[in-house]
Structure 1
């Protein structure tokens, strides 16, 4: 599950121009500023995960802790997929929990046996934690990313 900040090709165009240039410092600054612009979203998503209601107290090694640890910021400045993404990465989850980020959010059905009894199954209710937070905080981060793009494009030209 991820939320990506992309625009109509500006990110790709700037990444392409930076690729043609030999200025490693400018490339490094571009990545650093993009990361800084989108970074405030990661703690907000993690806090939202920790607030998911549960009958058990929060523990770092429980489901909510595992989801919070799998939340990360991804910045790509090369290729067709150039962009900034906030991701709750299923690949960072334990082997038997890879699809849980989507299930907890409610994008997929989440059902499981009751205490391991495969004769009795229950549907787990969804607990949206990602898109509501990103939707609320996204415009400010998007504006920050656009400011970075404008600044770097001025430096390139």
Structure 2
């Protein structure tokens, strides 16, 4: 799984960035950044929704059990790690990525593990007893990115055309 989706540093974006620096001023750069962010937001929302709806069926209930040792909801925590960043300087563009620093230390690799389809974890925090849960093998990240990237690229092309028209 790729760690991020990037539309950065294409020749058109670099040329346009240079022209905006000389001719457009801060208002045009802010407008450009805002519109590029808006182009990436649907993919951002789709990724968050995809991780919130991933099914992780358990192996079945046993007679043992008890309350979960943690109160944080797994899917909502992972959805909070999906981020957008927009650049308008030397490498202009947009990036939608999973920010591991926003996840708790024990969940840093969980987005990639779930994307692959197999989650192993201790049963109720007991490190001597482990369970395996299987997610849908299509991958929440890869399939969502594949579906959303063309829309994001098309929107950024439209933004580029509009800004180019404003500069001329």
**TM-score bucket (shorter structure):** 0.7 to 0.9
Give 1:27's aligned residue: 29
Partners of 1:43 and 1:65 lie apart in 2 by: 13
Give 2:147's aligned residue: 136
Partners of 2:115 and 2:22 lie apart in 1 by: 41
Partners of 1:18 and 1:95 lie apart in 2 by: 41
Query: For 1:1-150, what aligned pairs fall within 5 Å after superposition?
Result: 1-6=3-8, 8-21=10-23, 23-55=25-57, 61-80=72-91, 82-106=92-116, 111-119=120-128, 121=130, 124-125=133-134, 127=136, 128-150=139-161
Q: Stretches of 4+ moved more than 3 A in 1?
A: 109-127
Contact 1:89/1:101 (8 A) holds in 2: no
Contact 1:73/1:86 (8 A) holds in 2: yes
Q: 1:17 to 1:144 in 2, by over 3 A?
A: same
SS in 1 for 2:140: coil
Residue 121 of structure 1: how far off its partner (Å)? 4.8
Partners of 1:5 and 1:15 lie apart in 2 by: 14
Residue 134 of structure 1: how far off its partner (Å)? 1.9
Rg comparison, structure with higher value: 2
Residue 118 of structure 1: how far off its partner (Å)? 4.3
> Scaled by the length of structure 2, what TM-score is found?
0.75
> Scaled by the length of structure 1, what TM-score is found?
0.80
Number of residues of Structure 1 aligned to a counterpart in Structure 2: 152
Q: Where does the alignment leave 5 or more consecutive residues of structure 2 unmatched?
A: 59-70
1:110-142 CA-partner distances (Å, limit 9, x unpaired): 544444454555555455111211211221221
